[in-house]
């Protein structure tokens, strides 16, 4: 589904992704772990081209991500192609980024109406189904400000799903939440994984990672330092870098 080959990313002189190679298969749940500053967010942001990268390639279902490698400049045709490609990737961030002046259901309906040209009725029906999926059908008409953090994040997930993405990318979706709200969001994500959604998840929730991941990828200092199945990674002793990392925060 996603093939990342020889990916290198610099911020000025700062080399933040160093020859990253990664394959993500359809239906796979890949959890990315690693210390703060190791390049996890940058990797996700390169996948949907929120960041320009200097070397290497990212191919999503046969489509190349990106424009001119050095400048990031794109022709109008490339831009249109990239926008289409982006619609196939759902992204959920640490901060929920809901539109504050729109009701919950309007937040979910907007992109499908604007970008997929769904009618209002179609978008409404879809949004209702998604609200049910994340367990918040009774919140359709409230404003985001009246929701808890956990509820906001569940709405953000529903909003991303409304575009029917092929892949969902999550960047520390529970890091900004009060501890008592973490599990409700993780449950929505686990339910989603059970539907066969392809997911790439950056998280520090090691118990969740262990439970949900088909594969765990450990990043350190811009490198993909090791990867393996959840069993393989958690079997690593504390003498290995990844073992030390997962044991310290698990």
Q: What is the 8-class DSSP label of residue 250?
A: -
Spatial separation of the C-alpha atoms in residues 69 and 243, rounded to whole Å: 36
Beta strands in the chain (DSSP E): 2-11, 14-24, 29-33, 55-60, 63-64, 89-92, 167-171, 198-202, 215-220, 223-228
Instruction: Write down the least CB distance from residue 50 to Mg ion, Å.
Output: 12
**41 binding Mg ion? (CB under 5 A):** yes
CA–CA gap between residue 217 and residue 33 (Å, rounded): 6
Q: Measure the CA–CA gap between 228 and 61, rounded to whole angstroms.
A: 23
Which of ligand ADP, Mg ion, none binds 38 (CB below 5-8 Å, type-dependent)?
Answer: ligand ADP
Binding site for ligand ADP (CB under 6 A): 11, 14, 16, 34, 36-42
Largest pairwise CA distance in the chain: 58
CB of 39 to ligand ADP, least distance (A): 4
Residue nearest to Mg ion (CB): 41
Quick one: 38 or 107, whose CB is closer to Mg ion?
38
- 107 scored as a contact of Mg ion (CB under 5 A): no
The CB-of-53 to ligand ADP minimum distance in angstroms stands at 12
CB 85 within 8 A of CB 60: yes
How many chain residues are in contact with Mg ion, going by CB under 5 A? Answer: 1
d(CA 249, CA 206): 7
- Residue 99: contacted member of Mg ion, ligand ADP, none (CB under 5 to 8 Å, by partner type): none
Residue 31 to residue 83: CA distance in whole angstroms: 25
Using rule CB under 5 A, residue 174 touches Mg ion: no
Candidate segments 22-30, 41-49, 80-88, 234-242, binder of Mg ion by CB under 5 A? 41-49
Would you say 39 or 173 has its CB closer to ligand ADP?
A: 39
Q: For ligand ADP, give the closer residue by CB, 91 or 131.
A: 91
Contact of 28 with 50, CB cutoff 8 Å: no
Nearest-approach distance from CB 246 to ligand ADP, in angstroms: 15
Residue 108 or 208 with smaller CB distance to Mg ion: 208
Helix, strand, coil: what percent of the chain each, to 5? Answer: 40, 25, 35
Nearer of residues 133 and 227 to ligand ADP, judged by Cβ? 227
Cα distances (Å, whole numbers) of residue 232 to 201, 226, 242: 18, 10, 11
Look at residue 42 and give the partner it binds from Mg ion, ligand ADP, none, a contact being a CB closer than 5 to 8 Å depending on partner kind. ligand ADP
Task: Choose between 39 and 66: whose C-beta lies nearer to ligand ADP.
Answer: 39
Residue 78 Cβ, how far from Mg ion at the closest point, in Å? 27
Q: Which residues bind Mg ion (CB under 5 A)?
A: 41
């Amino acid at each position: 589904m996603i093939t990342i080959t020889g990916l290198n990313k610099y911020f000025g002189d700062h080399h933040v992704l160093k020859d990253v190679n990664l394959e993500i298969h359809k239906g796979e749940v890949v959890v990315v772990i690693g210390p703060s500053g190791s390049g996890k967010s940058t990797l996700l942001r390169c996948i949907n081209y929120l960041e320009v990268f200097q070397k290497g390639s990212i191919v999503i279902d046969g489509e190349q991500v990106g424009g001119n490698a050095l400048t990031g400049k794109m022709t109008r045709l490339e831009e249109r192609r990239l926008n289409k490609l982006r619609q196939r990737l759902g992204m959920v961030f640490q901060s929920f980024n809901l539109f504050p002046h729109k009701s919950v259901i309007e937040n979910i309906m907007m992109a499908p109406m604007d970008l997929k040209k769904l009618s209002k009725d179609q978008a409404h029906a879809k949004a209702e189904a998604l609200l049910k999926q994340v367990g918040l059908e009774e919140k359709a008409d409230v404003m985001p400000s009246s929701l808890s953090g956990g509820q906001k994040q569940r709405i953000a997930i529903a909003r991303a799903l409304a575009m029917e993405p092929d892949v969902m990318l999550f960047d520390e979706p529970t890091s900004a939440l009060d501890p008592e709200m973490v599990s409700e969001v993780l449950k929505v994500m686990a339910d989603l994984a059970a539907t066969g959604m392809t997911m790439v998840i950056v998280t520090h929730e090691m118990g969740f990672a262990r439970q949900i991941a088909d594969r765990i990828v450990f990043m350190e200092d811009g490198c993909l330092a090791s990867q393996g199945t959840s069993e393989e990674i958690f079997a690593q002793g504390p003498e290995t870098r990844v073992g030390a990392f997962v044991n310290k925060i698990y």
